[in-house]
Amino acid sequence: MTQTYKALVASRQDGKLAVGFEQLSAAEIGEGDVEIAVEYSTLNYKDGLAMSDAVPIVQKEKLILGIDMAGTVVSSDNSLFSVGDKVVLNGYGASETHNGGYTQRLRTKGEYLVKLPAGISTRQAMAIGTAGYTAMLSVMRLERFGVVPESGVVLVTGASGGVGTVAISLLSALGYRVTASTGRVEETEFLKGLGATDVINRAELSEPGEMMQSTRWAAAVDSCGSHTLANVIAQLSYSGVVTACGLAQGLDLPGNMMPFALRNVSLLGVDSVHAPMPLREEAWRRLAKDLDMSKLEALTMDIPFDDVPAAAGKILQGQIRGRAVVKIGD
């Protein structure tokens, strides 16, 4: 009997995206020089967008969804990987232009894979996922721009989401004073448990604001975009900096030049999809060293593979706190 593998597949029919589970043959699990038995994946905001087709993330007529996966190499024609290696895939066009991680078995290019550093299991890697990896990239961008704990308060928007919860955990562990902005103020104690010093209602930032406002933040990690990001920029201290890594509120940026011209502020983009391999490897090494795994566990929930399509709608509605791990393999 031919071996098949369960996968969550998107296919475009008459211009509409259909999402459903299929049993795929070995010939349908992707192309590349490394084959992985997938153990865990995760649910990111971007996965929700992909399944909703609200943003045209899926660019092929048919592919396996899931922008993340972690598992064990079962065959390799790539000299950098051996059978038994624990690896992680995130970004690089997974679930966009080639097959992603919502599958029991995946074949992909070794150039997309990172060997997991010691101290991170495949489940922990997916508790981190693209969201946590993006948070690490954001922290590294702030550091390289000269932001240190003595610089002042760092704001984290979208604080109850995947990027936000991991960013708070990382920044607080590194000695920064963190203010968390969330639409779920009932999560205040949870966010303070992750390391936030203060928690504010996102309503303070999510509506149109003045071009220049009273300074509040030395730096910020923003995963919202739109009016939130515009207000954060308007509230940065002199030479303040904000990393932009998400669009939970919107794709637009209704701001102005005043803070840049008069306060010397900086807006830094963070790209987790096409980040070069040396930067990826450094980010994963830093996560292994700097992220408190007990805090990671506290912000993580588990979702059965079969429930991923339903959970995708919930993450877009802000109904999933922290990180969501999906168990794929046996």
Q: How confident is the model at residue 1 (pLDDT cuts 50, 70, 90)?
A: low
Q: How confident is the model at residue 30 (pLDDT cuts 50, 70, 90)?
A: very high
- Show me where the domains of the chain are located: 4-115+299-327, 131-269
Residue-averaged pLDDT of the chain: 95
- Strand 236-244 and strand 266-269: the pairing is parallel
CATH class assigned to 131-269? alpha beta
Please give the distance of CA 233 from its chain centroid, rounded to a whole number: 22
Handedness of CA 226, 230, 236, 240 (dihedral sign): positive
pTM assigned to the model: 0.92
Asked if pLDDT for residue 84 goes beyond 90, the answer is yes
Mean pLDDT of all residues in 58-81: 96
Q: Tens of pLDDT along 169-222?
A: 999 999 999 999 999 999 999 999 999 999 999 999 999 999 999 999 999 999
Q: How confident is the model at residue 62 (pLDDT cuts 50, 70, 90)?
A: very high
Nearest C-alpha neighbor of 113 from the set 55, 30, 195, 188:
30
> Rounded CA gap, 68 and 267, in Å?
27
Q: What pLDDT sits at residue 78?
A: 97
- Helix axes 45-52 and 308-316, enclosed angle (nearest 10): 110
CATH code, residues 4-115+299-327 = 3.90.180.10
Q: What pLDDT sits at residue 127?
A: 96
Q: Which CA distances in Å does 288 have to 18, 151, 159?
A: 37, 25, 21
- Strand 178-182 and strand 113-115: the pairing is unpaired
